[in-house]
Structure 1
Amino acid sequence: MINYKLIFRVLGLLLAVEAFFMLVTAGVSLIYGEPDFMSHIKAAGITGGTGILFGILGRKSGKKIGKREGYIIVSLVWIVFSFFGLLPFYIGDYIPSFTDSFFETMSGFTTTGSSILNDIEALPHGILFWRSIIQWLGGMGIIVLSLAVLPFLGVGGMQLFAAEVPGPTPDKLHPKITSTAKRLWGIYLALTIAETALLTFGGMDIFDSVCHAFTTMATGGYSTKQASVAYWESPYIQYIITLFMFLAGTNFTLTYFAIKLKPKKVIQNEEFRFYLGFVILFTLIIGAGLMYKHGLGLEHAFRDALFQVVSIITTTGYATADYLTWFPLLSILIFILMFFGGSAGSTGGGIKIVRIVMLIKNSSYELKRLIHPNAIIPARYNSRVVAPEIVTNVLAFFVFYVISIIVSIVVLSALGIDFETSVGAVVTCIGNIGPGIGEVGPAANFAYIPDFGKWFLSFLMLLGRLELFTIIVMFSAAFWRK
């Protein structure tokens, strides 16, 4: 039987965490003396009060979290956080539409970065900071944060960790899941501080540096400027952000090994080699195209190509150029990258490089099996035999991913949205990327999408962020049976 009291208890504690960050944001508003201060205070009061109520409902719940409770909590927390997280936007009338406020908030927490805002610079500092911090919280994961700071979740915490952390199999840095969570967040925080310092050194003011460090490490892509990173015509700033986008798209377990001075574990990792190889390959092809077809200089072409390639493959979604105005082949290459995603165990979305690698390898092995039908040819990854159930999981994920995209394109097209924009909106939302193609490209946004379309795309953001299975499994009758 599902322990609903435990679900209320965990949600209550997590809402208290969200209320705390609302108060932090209120402090930013107070520093700048802007009128959004009360919006954050009211939002924190409502959120904290609801958290207390949930805590009361969850008294004497016990601590053991089963698999079903884990899936329900992980799915609900993103929805609940988004409903309360929209309050600073909605209460202060900074985003008057409830639908738009929810879309912007869900896009933030899932680190998608798709926006409905047309004049970002007009927003007060507190609201801009809230947009950035919700991406930072969503990047490493709300549950992973809770495992790090709420010791009581240590019992049965693996059920939550496995349901939220992206990738076919979650990597543990320590036998205790709470220790793994603390180390992951420690690396995440250290890289955020490092990027903030380097951006400030490059001439970006401290507020913009903090906000961009938050949204870079989260691979979220929300910027404090309407023109995104293109606002700063500084090669230094663009290269620094590119570097940290790449690090954010790398498996944090490998980053941990690099910090521990174990570079061999990084170099020998097959996923990392493919990830780096894809970035280099696409950057060289697109850079050459920008030089040949658009007449850009060597450094400018390389920088524009590298920035856009890393931004899209890591699903960050920042932009320094409008790739839809490029030579068609180059735009198509960027679109193809939208299906890749970052590494497993990173803050990136998408299919993930490890699954791409396994799909390629399994296809190659299948050809060999056809030629040698009696031979036993197991799939290998990182020089180890991959368990058949993991290969099946990857294939099932890919099938569900493609079916979800096809069905979703049909739904958006039924709303009267043109085919190109429907494809772009669906692929970018389920991949948690941000900009798409058509009318939702890097120079536009999602403001004109009908309300039902925004709710539907918000669902796709959640579906992509939780790697499909966490959501899909709850639609099965077997999940709810005793």
Structure 2
Amino acid sequence: MLDFRPVLFVIGLLLATIAVAMGIPAVVDVLAGHSDWQVFAISSAFTLFIGVSLVLAGRAAEMRLTIRQTFLLTTLSWVAIAVFAALPLAFSDLNLSYTDAFFEAMSGLTTTGSTVITGLDDAPPGILLWRALLQWLGGIGIIVMAVAVLPVLQVGGMQLFQTESSDTSEKVLPRIAQIISGISLIYIGLTSVCALLLWIWGMNGFEAVAHAMTTIATGGFSTSDGSIGHFNSAAIDWTITVFMVLSGVPFVLYLQTVRGNLMALPRDG
């Protein structure tokens, strides 16, 4: 019989992480004087409660993930996160149905880029940031978080890469901790450089950060209905194009290059 406790434990940790992430757009809305911060605060508290409850319910003396449990975890984690990530969208001033909110959240997490929201130019800043943050986390952050958790359950971490389509299962570094830190640094580094360039080319700070996150995630969400065409800037267009190409390269190849394998990228190409 399949033991669901390790699966519930990890999903609980991921939901708790999403709950904490909801605090970021809540703070942005507070600073902007928008009442939607309450929606994020309540959604965060509810999601955190469910997440902690799953962690407590999933605890066991010995937790070990099998291949079947790992596949189940990979599927259920995306659905569970989208269910709760949709809450701020559903109860915000956007007046979305929960179905539309779930679609938007899942589109963000899977970096699909499809949207059902119009009037983005007048949307609350917290909502705009939440959409960008969902894509950024979905791009690779969720994988990094899961790889950090799975070794605790004696699954070794790398099995997740075998069930994800966004990377290779080749063990490019000897320790999981090095893989996590390497991917995180590359992801954050690319995001930071992209945001800086977009700000230099004319976006304000908020727009630059939001577009940098969705660019590195290769998702394409924007803060405007006109997307990047709203800015009417060739420099911005080219910056986003270049960084999307860079982000489309498997990050393990960057890690191999940094470790001295200078032919990793040319050979893969």
CA contact (8 A) 1:65 1:159 kept: no
- Counterpart of 2:216, as a letter, is M
CA contact (8 A) 2:120 2:224 kept: yes
Q: Which SS does the other structure have where 2:22 is aligned?
A: helix
In 2: Cα distance, 1:261 partner to 1:234 partner:
37
Instruction: Name the counterpart of 1:170.
Output: 169
Structure 2 residue 94 is matched with structure 1 residue 84: no
By how many angstroms is 1:27 displaced? Answer: 1.3
- Post-superposition, which runs of at least 4 consecutive aligned residues in structure 1 deviate over 6 A? none
In 2: Cα distance, 1:231 partner to 1:89 partner:
23
* CA deviations over 1:185-220 (Å, ceiling 9, x no partner): 221111101111111111111101100110001011
Q: Structure 1 residues 178 and 259, CA, compared in 2 at 3 Å: closer, same or farther?
A: closer
Instruction: Name the counterpart of 2:265.
Output: 266
Q: Structure 1 residues 163 and 11, CA, compared in 2 at 3 Å: closer, same or farther?
A: same
Instruction: Name the counterpart of 1:238.
Output: 237
Instruction: Name the counterpart of 2:212.
Output: 213
Instruction: Name the counterpart of 1:7.
Output: 7
- Larger Rg computed on CA atoms: 1
TM-score normalized with structure 1 length? 0.53
Q: Structure 1 residues 91 and 174, CA, compared in 2 at 3 Å: closer, same or farther?
A: same
Instruction: Name the counterpart of 1:52.
Output: 52
CA contact (8 A) 1:34 1:124 kept: yes
Instruction: Name the counterpart of 2:223.
Output: 224
In 2: Cα distance, 1:154 partner to 1:186 partner:
25
By how many angstroms is 1:145 displaced? Answer: 2.2
Instruction: Name the counterpart of 1:450.
Output: none
In 2: Cα distance, 1:142 partner to 1:153 partner:
17
Instruction: Name the counterpart of 1:101.
Output: 101
What are the residue-to-residue correspondences of 1:110-121 with 2, within 5 Å? 110-121=110-121
Gaps of 5+ in 1: 273-482
By how many angstroms is 1:263 displaced? Answer: 3.6
CA contact (8 A) 2:5 2:57 kept: yes
By how many angstroms is 1:165 displaced? Answer: 4.5
In 2: Cα distance, 1:164 partner to 1:194 partner:
27
- Farther-moved stretch of structure 1 (61-70 vs 119-128): 61-70
How many equivalent pairs are there? 269
- Counterpart of 1:2, as a letter, is L
By how many angstroms is 1:151 displaced? Answer: 6.0
Gaps of 5+ in 2: none
- Counterpart of 1:137, as a letter, is L
Structure 2 residue 251 is matched with structure 1 residue 247: no
* CA deviations over 1:6-65 (Å, ceiling 9, x no partner): 111111111110001001221111221211100100110110000111112112152321
Q: Structure 1 residues 8 and 263, CA, compared in 2 at 3 Å: closer, same or farther?
A: same
In 2: Cα distance, 1:170 partner to 1:150 partner:
15
CA contact (8 A) 1:95 1:101 kept: no
In 1: Cα distance, 2:141 partner to 2:230 partner:
29
CA contact (8 A) 2:172 2:256 kept: no
In 2: Cα distance, 1:2 partner to 1:204 partner:
51
Q: Which SS does the other structure have where 1:38 is aligned?
A: helix
In 1: Cα distance, 2:32 partner to 2:61 partner:
43
CA contact (8 A) 1:66 1:159 kept: no
Instruction: Name the counterpart of 2:185.
Output: 186
Q: Which SS does the other structure have where 1:92 is aligned?
A: coil
Q: Structure 1 residues 235 and 214, CA, compared in 2 at 3 Å: closer, same or farther?
A: same
Q: Structure 1 residues 72 and 149, CA, compared in 2 at 3 Å: closer, same or farther?
A: closer
* CA deviations over 1:396-420 (Å, ceiling 9, x no partner): xxxxxxxxxxxxxxxxxxxxxxxxx
Percentage identity across paired residues of the two chains: 38
Instruction: Name the counterpart of 1:143.
Output: 143
Q: Structure 1 residues 32 and 126, CA, compared in 2 at 3 Å: closer, same or farther?
A: same
In 1: Cα distance, 2:230 partner to 2:110 partner:
24
